[in-house]
Amino acid sequence: MSTIIRTTPRNIKAARGTTLRCKGWHQEVILRMLENNLENGERPEDLVIYMNAAKAARNWESFDAIVQALLTLDDDETLVIQSGKPVARFHTHVRAARVILANGNVMGRWAGDDAMYRLEQAGLTILPGMTAACWQYIGSQGIVQGTYQSFIGAAQRFFNGSLAGRVILTAGCGGMGGGQPLAGKMAGAATLVVDVDPSSLQKRIDTGYLDSMTDSVDQALQRIEKLVAQRTGGSVGLVGNVADVYEALLAREFRPDIVTDQCMVDPYHGYVPSGLTPAQAAQLMRDNPAQALERAAATLVRHARAILAFERHGALAFEYGNTLRARAVEAGVVEAAALESFVTLFIRPLFCLGIGPFRWVAASGDPADIAVIDDIVEANFPADHMIRQWIRLARRHIKFQGLPARIGWLGHGERTRLALLVNQAVAAGRISAPIAFTRDHLDAGSVASPFRETEKMRDGSEAVSDWPLLNAMLACSGGATLVAIHANGNKSQSAGHTLVADGTPLAAERLAAVLNADTGIGIVRYAEAGYESAQQARSAATLDIAGIAAR
């Protein structure tokens, strides 16, 4: 567990309205995105956004220096961030990125859990997460559609197209896992989510992502049984350690239809051993790391074996990218390696077409601006398009956190089309202030993660990280406002960017260049790996070398 320095909360909120504090809207939007991170963060007093460790800045001195730099940054300057600390600003040009970030990138043998922990403790790097250190976090909404797509994919592939009357069992309801109960509800399932920290469950209730919570296994099962009988989607949060609860559920012969997991399973950053509270686990890691690691591993063994037991009893079990399987194998549960991943089961066919989690954020803070974009989607995409169904669900179920935002899975050409329409709406005054466009690092061309997005690639290239680096360089070449290169220890390498639709012709040029390249390099990545659908998409979009040369 990283050292926790408790400070008086500064209660940072993203600025709203149309008044600029910075020298331009691009700098202002990036500053508001940073503030929005803290507004939505799980432990903002420590600059921690989610995962119990992923930070927005290295320390408060760095945060203040970043803010001051953004306030004074000119339209032809670029601010450089090294693992959450601003280190320089350079004169560049108006189409260059205003901010570039490299976060958590550590060489080979120094990138393991123990070495990363020591580098963090020394103040030399940070764990960036996927969207925390590049200031693109939008609360639990940021992952809810991806989780929904996975659950709907499970319904279509394994349950005759419907999860009505079905049960999802999962764990982890923090900043990333917090989207699970609502995603399950939207997919029509009765969803039971376990978390050892009652405050995490309470926050999901407060933000509309969880229906109810209890610390009683019996009461939780009664509520789930009622939802199953009604064949209506709903969610129940159960307070408890996942290993203890799963074993109790097995003893009661509870038989879920789907089992997955979004716990933080890194013992250095928040996996809680059985018998301890989160605070006690954090203290033990500080006082006696060897004992903390031993107890965490013993709990993880029970955790993983319980999931495998549910699978043997007929559940569809898969990991949701939190490295549970790899850590379980290291702890001696070698059979955990056979569990499937949500990516290989449900998401990779979308990645092959460049389809992934696209996001837009209203810098004004006015929900009416998001409503205008909802209307633009409804008017410009086919009725049977997945984005249309999602927007209808989002309008009904999603409660905004911080700056109003949406996420919608769109592919090559589709992101550009929407962004240009939005830029026109900003120019016409239908939208009151610029819109930030970004995406999750979980995307087609933006990540190398052998235990998640790039697991079991057809050509064996799952660990090749050229692709996210190329993605980031393309984003810089096209003129993104912010570009980030991240690593999460030795688990993944990823790239992210933020663009600003301010209604100008220059913004339109930048949006088209960056967004077409972003989805395009994703299609190329999978085409190069031998996926036929990606090869067909590359040819259709003339993204192959011959097609480009013929233009």
Q: What is the spatial distance between Cα 440 and Cα 409, in angstroms, rounded to a whole number?
A: 10
Kindly state the DSSP code that residue 222 receives in the 8-state scheme.
H
Residue 205 has, within 13 A of its CA and on its CB side, a CA count of: 13
Residue-wise pLDDT tens digits, 166-196 = 999 999 998 778 889 999 999 999 999 999 9
Tokens encoding 379: 């008017």
Kindly state the DSSP code that residue 52 receives in the 8-state scheme.
T
Residue-wise pLDDT tens digits, 109-129 = 898 888 998 999 999 999 998
Arithmetic mean of pLDDT, 355-376: 97
Tokens encoding 208: 């509309």
DSSP assignments along 465-478, one per residue: -HHHHHHHHHHHHH
Q: Which amino acid is at 304?
A: A
Strands (DSSP E) contained in 339-393 are 340-341, 356-362
Residue-wise pLDDT tens digits, 426-457 = 999 999 999 999 998 889 999 999 988 999 99
Strands (DSSP E) contained in 374-457 are 405-410, 435-439, 447-448
pLDDT at 549 over 70: no
Q: What is the spatial distance between Cα 423 and Cα 222, in angstroms, rounded to a whole number?
A: 50
CA angle 217/222/227 to nearest 5° reads: 125
Which of 102-106, 133-137, 143-147 comes out lowest in average pLDDT?
Answer: 143-147
Q: What is the spatial distance between Cα 6 and Cα 457, in angstroms, rounded to a whole number?
A: 43
- Residue count of the chain, please give it: 551
Q: Which amino acid is at 295?
A: R
Q: Which amino acid is at 460?
A: G
Question: What's the pLDDT score for residue 6?
Answer: 45
Question: Residue 500's beta-bridge partner residues?
Answer: 436
Higher-confidence residue of 232 and 68: namely 68
Q: What is the spatial distance between Cα 389 and Cα 391, in angstroms, rounded to a whole number?
A: 6
H/E element holding 205?
A: helix 198-206
pLDDT at 60 over 70: yes
Q: How far is CA 166 from CA 202, 219, 458, in A?
A: 24, 18, 32
Question: What's the pLDDT score for residue 175?
Answer: 76
Question: What's the pLDDT score for residue 8?
Answer: 61
Averaged pLDDT of the chain: 94
Residue 2 has, within 13 A of its CA and on its CB side, a CA count of: 28
Question: What's the pLDDT score for residue 452?
Answer: 86
Tokens encoding 164: 């009505």
Strands (DSSP E) contained in 264-396 are 316-319, 340-341, 356-362
Kindly state the DSSP code that residue 77 receives in the 8-state scheme.
E
Residue-wise pLDDT tens digits, 12-37 = 999 999 999 999 999 999 999 999 99
Helix, coil or strand: residue 194:
strand
% of the chain with per-residue pLDDT over 90: 86
Question: Measured in whole angstroms, how far is the alpha carbon of residue 446 from the centre of its chain?
Answer: 13
Question: What's the pLDDT score for residue 53?
Answer: 86
pLDDT band at 4 (very low <50, low <70, confident <90, very high): very low
Kindly state the DSSP code that residue 197 receives in the 8-state scheme.
-
Nearest alpha carbon to residue 78 among 15, 133, 26: 26
Helix, coil or strand: residue 49:
strand
Q: Is 163 left (phi over 0), alpha (psi -120 to 50) or beta?
A: alpha
The contacts of residue 418 (CB under 8 Å, 6+ apart) are 358, 360, 373, 376, 377, 380, 410
Question: What's the pLDDT score for residue 174?
Answer: 85
Question: What's the pLDDT score for residue 7?
Answer: 52
As a whole number of Å, the end-to-end CA separation of the chain is 53
Higher-confidence residue of 437 and 143: namely 437
Nearest alpha carbon to residue 199 among 184, 210, 186: 210
Arithmetic mean of pLDDT, 142-165: 92
Q: What is the spatial distance between Cα 546 and Cα 551, in angstroms, rounded to a whole number?
A: 9
Question: What's the pLDDT score for residue 441?
Answer: 87
pLDDT band at 547 (very low <50, low <70, confident <90, very high): low
Tokens encoding 94: 């108006």
Q: Are 301 and 331 within 8 A, CB to CB?
A: yes
Q: Are 388 and 378 within 8 A, CB to CB?
A: yes
Domains and CATH numbers, the chain: 141-346 (3.40.50.10730), 357-549 (3.40.1770.10)
Residue-wise pLDDT tens digits, 234-274 = 999 999 999 999 999 999 999 999 999 999 998 988 899 99
pTM score of the predicted model? 0.87
The contacts of residue 310 (CB under 8 Å, 6+ apart) are 169, 246, 250, 255, 256, 259, 317
Tokens encoding 281: 């686990």
